[in-house]
Chain A
Amino acid sequence: MLIGKVVGSVVATQKDEKLEGRKLLVVQVHNQQNKPLDQYVVAVDSVQAGPGDMILYATGSSARQTTVTEGRPCDAVVMAVVDSWDLGGANVYEKWS
Chain B
Amino acid sequence: MYLARVTGRLVATQRYTGLDGVALQWIQPLDEDGKSMGDQMVACAAISSGPGDLVMFVDGREAAMACPVTFVPVDAAIVGFVEQAISKGVPIGRGAAGVS
Q: CB within 8 Å of B: which residues of A?
A: 1-3, 31-32, 46-49, 56, 58-66, 69, 77, 79-89, 92
A32, B7: Cβ atoms closer than 8 Å: yes
Residues in A with CB closer than 8 Å to B9 are 85-86
Residues in B with CB closer than 8 Å to A79 are 15-16, 19, 72-74
A88, B7: Cβ atoms closer than 8 Å: yes
Contact of B39 among A31, A58, A69 (CB under 8 A): A31
Q: CB within 8 Å of A: which residues of B?
A: 7-16, 19, 24, 26, 39-43, 51-52, 60-61, 63-64, 71-76
Contact of B15 among A62, A80, A92 (CB under 8 A): A80
**Interchain residue pairs A-B with the least CB separation, the first 9:** A87-B8, A62-B75, A80-B12, A85-B10, A80-B15, A61-B61, A81-B14, A58-B73, A79-B73
Question: Helix, strand, loop or mixed for chain A's interface?
Answer: mixed
A77, B8: Cβ atoms closer than 8 Å: no
B51, A82: Cβ atoms closer than 8 Å: no
A60, B24: Cβ atoms closer than 8 Å: no
CA distance in complex: A56, B11 (Å): 11
A46, B73: Cβ atoms closer than 8 Å: yes
Residues in B with CB closer than 8 Å to A47 are 14-16
B8, A86: Cβ atoms closer than 8 Å: yes
Nearest B residue to A54 by beta-carbon distance? B12
Contact of B73 among A2, A65, A89 (CB under 8 A): A65
